[in-house]
Chains A and B, each alone.
Chain A
Amino acid sequence: MDTSLFFPALLTGIFCYLGAIETPWLFGMSGGFYIVGRPLVAGLLVGLAFGDIKSGILCGLAVQAVFIANLSTGGATNSEITYAAYGGIGLAMATTKNPAIAVTLAILIGQTFGLIFYNGRMALYSFWNARAEKAADQADTRGITLNHLVYPQITTFILRAVPVFLAIFYGKGLVNWLINSIPEIITHIIQVLGGVLPALGIALLMGIVIKNKTHLIFFMAGFVLLSFAKLSMIAIVFIAALVAYMYYFASSNKGTGNGESETKEATESAVNTDDEYEDDDLF
């Protein structure tokens, strides 16, 4: 056993807890899930823990590409990004420091153990919720604090920091064995899957933003601006903002034909014209 692995593994476990969606300490999701939870940031932090920032960031960069469209809506998630990031990058840093290994491990962990732990915890927390509700019924503010904040956080620390620490501290042999014994076709499948996985996050996002099937044309426009015209994302944001502005402008001036004046009046008259665009059978 390699005792020099103790502190890096411990720190990675603690980071995995701090980047979790339910961690409050870094201004909730703002600093936790959306910053420490991102694989790009995880690469820097794990790199610091292992004393090799460059390799850490390269692993983080590779894992981030797979999880860029990670999505969490209404408690449902397409993959457990925090376990994936810290488990995958941490184990890779403890072994080969190879970004491709980090991606493979992150996908394996994120789609299996990560989702099992995540859904298990979501179910388990109903227990604390019931106690917090009982506290509210008795106007017991201390009970609310304990069951909303203190006990759930102890639970989540145990479920995140401990398994990730153990996996990195004891998992070296297992990972080395996996790397040497997994057939090449499986590694190839996982690599291809890594390229395809963002499609799910994007499909979920489309489910949120596309309210009307005719809006698929805007999706296609964004797609071809990148794939055919090879514009950068920032350039496309500005073009999209222009299109959105024109869309807003066009929808608030229906029927007046007078482009620049009386936006307020037009606002009211446009109420009547909206119906024809809400017909689902149009498409």
Chain B
Amino acid sequence: MSKSDSKSVGQDKLLSKHDLNQIWYRWGFTHLSSMSYEKIQGHSWAYSYIPFANKFYKNDIEKKRRLLQRHSMFYNTEPQTGQLINGIVASLEEQIAMGKDVSEEMPVNIKTTLMGPLAGIGDSIIQGIIVPILLSIGMSLAKGGSPLGPIFYIVAYGIIGPTISYIAFHSGYKLGVNAIDIIVGENSKRITDAFNILGVMVVGALAANTIVLKTIAKIPMGGKTESLENVLNGIFPGLLPLAMVLLGWWLVSSKQMTATKVILIMTVIVTIGCLIGLF
């Protein structure tokens, strides 16, 4: 594509399929490759726009500099579902490069506004639903040491992860700024809430399925001793795991504790419990 083409006003597409895919996979590969607490995924944006900068701002070093600068800021979202934002920003950067009436702050604002909401929904879908469920299936297939379990997981997530990333990027690009209304609009809030309900229920089941805490204490019952675990199971199966996870949730959400502190508290509880013969 020549320089004069990109300046013509009537044109509404500048990026070829190849340009777009370059932005997609450059982010897809390197989103966390320079991950620090200070920037998280920030510099991956600049990296994914290098071919774009070299192609469209070849003769305008000042614009190229501003493009790379505005894509070197702190950024953090779920990087697979979050490709939706990369798609929206690609459509905005395309319009900026064509000289259309889009301000250079617009991509920055979009990134800071959307990264939070998309991280919330993305983390609950990927880490809360898809990964644990595929792992549960893989683990049941791997019983007895069968390689089928890990192979199932590799193939299943190997297809699902990149597919989510690809679809999210291209739908973000197609919708452009209209996607924002869809993401922060009222109807989307209800869809997000509904997904959250799905997530909360699955996480509840996951808690019952994965946390293991049994008491070995015995209590006297009508002359002989009965295992406390059996008594508890008769009332509420999984009561101890439930108590543990609710404690963890309370410490994390109400007390704002860090993961490390909660680990220490749980270690202390388990140690004391073991020493007094409870667990």
A74 closest partner in B (C-beta): B76
Please state if B193 and A251 are interface contacts (CB–CB under 8 Å).
yes
Contacts of B242 in A (CB 8 A): 223, 227
Q: Say yes or no for B124: interface residue by CB 8 A criterion.
A: yes
Task: Looking at the assembled complex, report how far the CB atom of A166 sits from the nearest CB atom of chain B, in whole angstroms.
Answer: 24
- Size band of the A side of the interface? 35 or more
B120's closest neighbor in chain A, by CB?
A208
Q: Are B135 and A129 in contact (CB under 8 A)?
A: no
Give Cα A240–Cα B195 distance, bound, in whole angstroms: 9
* Contact present for B196 and A209 (CB under 8 Å): yes
Give the distance to chain A from B188, nearest Cβ to Cβ, in Å: 10
Q: Give the number of residue pairs across the A-B interface with Cβ within 8 Å.
A: 387
User: Is A13 part of the binding interface, using a Cβ–Cβ cutoff of 8 Å?
Assistant: no
A69 to B263, CA, bound (A): 14
In the complex, how many angstroms separate the beta carbon of B108 from the nearest chain A beta carbon?
A: 13
CB pair A122–B35 under 8 Å, yes or no, is: yes
Q: Does B197 contact A (CB under 8 A)?
A: yes
Beta-carbon contact of A234 and B137 below 8 Å: yes
B263–A111 contact, CB under 8 A?
Answer: yes
Asked if B40 lies at the interface with its beta carbon under 8 angstroms from chain A, I say yes
A21 engages B35 (CB within 8 Å):
yes
- Does B197 lie within 8 Å of A141, measured CB to CB? no
A203 and B252 contacting across the interface, CB-CB below 8 Å: yes
The docked-state distance in angstroms from the alpha carbon of A38 to that of B199 is: 21
Q: Is residue A237 within 8 Å, beta carbon to beta carbon, of the partner chain?
A: yes
CB atoms of A192 and B266 under 8 A apart: no
Within 8 Å of chain B (Cβ to Cβ): is A125? yes
Q: Which residues of chain B are within 8 angstroms of A137 by Cβ–Cβ distance? A: 65, 69
Residue B132 interfacial (CB < 8 Å): yes
Q: How far is the CA of A200 from the CA of B275 in the complex (A)?
A: 22
CB-contact partner of B36 in A60, A129, A153, under 8 A: A129
**Interface of chain B, main secondary structure:** helix
CB nearest to A23 among chain B residues: B33
Is residue B110 within 8 Å, beta carbon to beta carbon, of the partner chain? Answer: no
Decide if B31 is an interface residue (CB 8 Å cutoff).
yes
Cβ of A206 within 8 Å of any chain B Cβ, yes or no, is: yes
Cβ contact within 8 Å between B132 and A122:
no
Q: Are A219 and B190 neighbours in the complex by a CB distance under 8 Å?
A: no
B198/A241 in contact, CB under 8 A: yes
B89 within 8 A of A: no
* B interface footprint on A1-31 (CB within 8 Å = 1, 0 otherwise): 0000000000000000000011111011111
CA distance A199 to B80 in the complex (A): 25
Would you give the 0/1 interface string for B8-52, flagging 1 where the beta carbon is closer than 8 Å to chain A? 000000000000000001001111111111111011101100100
**B residues in contact with A100, CB < 8 Å:** none
Complex Cα spacing A40 to B252, Å:
28
Evaluate whether A240 and B249 lie within 8 angstroms (CB atoms) in the complex, with A192-B270, A192-B274 already known.
Answer: no
Whether, in the assembled complex, A113 has its beta carbon less than 8 Å from a beta carbon of chain B, the answer is: no
Q: Report yes or no: B129 in contact with A189, Cβ–Cβ below 8 A.
A: no
In the bound complex, how far is the Cα of B142 from the Cα of A54, in angstroms?
A: 10
CB of B43 within 8 A of CB of A197, answer no
Contact of A158 with B by CB under 8 A? no
Cα of A75 to Cα of B213 in the assembled complex, Å:
29
Note all chain B residues with C-beta closer than 8 A to A240.
197-198, 201-202, 205
* Contact A64:B68 (CB < 8 A) given known A30-B162, A196-B270: no
Q: Is B222 an interface residue (CB 8 A)?
A: no
Residues of A within 8 A of B31 (CB): 28-29
A24-B33, A40-B142, A221-B201 given; A245·B194 CB < 8 A: yes
Binds A, one of B96-104, B145-153, B167-175: B145-153
Whether A195 lies near B245 (C-beta < 8 A) is no
Given contacts A68-B135, A233-B209, A236-B202, contact A25 B275 (CB under 8 A): no
Is A270's CB within 8 Å of the partner chain B?
yes
Extra A-B contacts (13), CB below 8 Å, given A199-B207, A248-B194: A28-B33, A55-B145, A69-B210, A73-B119, A75-B36, A123-B36, A129-B36, A149-B47, A200-B263, A202-B203, A205-B124, A233-B206, A236-B201
The 3 closest A-B pairs by CB, nearest first: A222-B204, A203-B248, A195-B212
Chosen A-B contacts, 14 in total, with CB atoms closer than 8 Å, are A28-B29, A35-B161, A60-B150, A132-B72, A188-B274, A203-B249, A206-B245, A218-B197, A222-B200, A224-B208, A226-B204, A227-B238, A244-B194, A244-B198
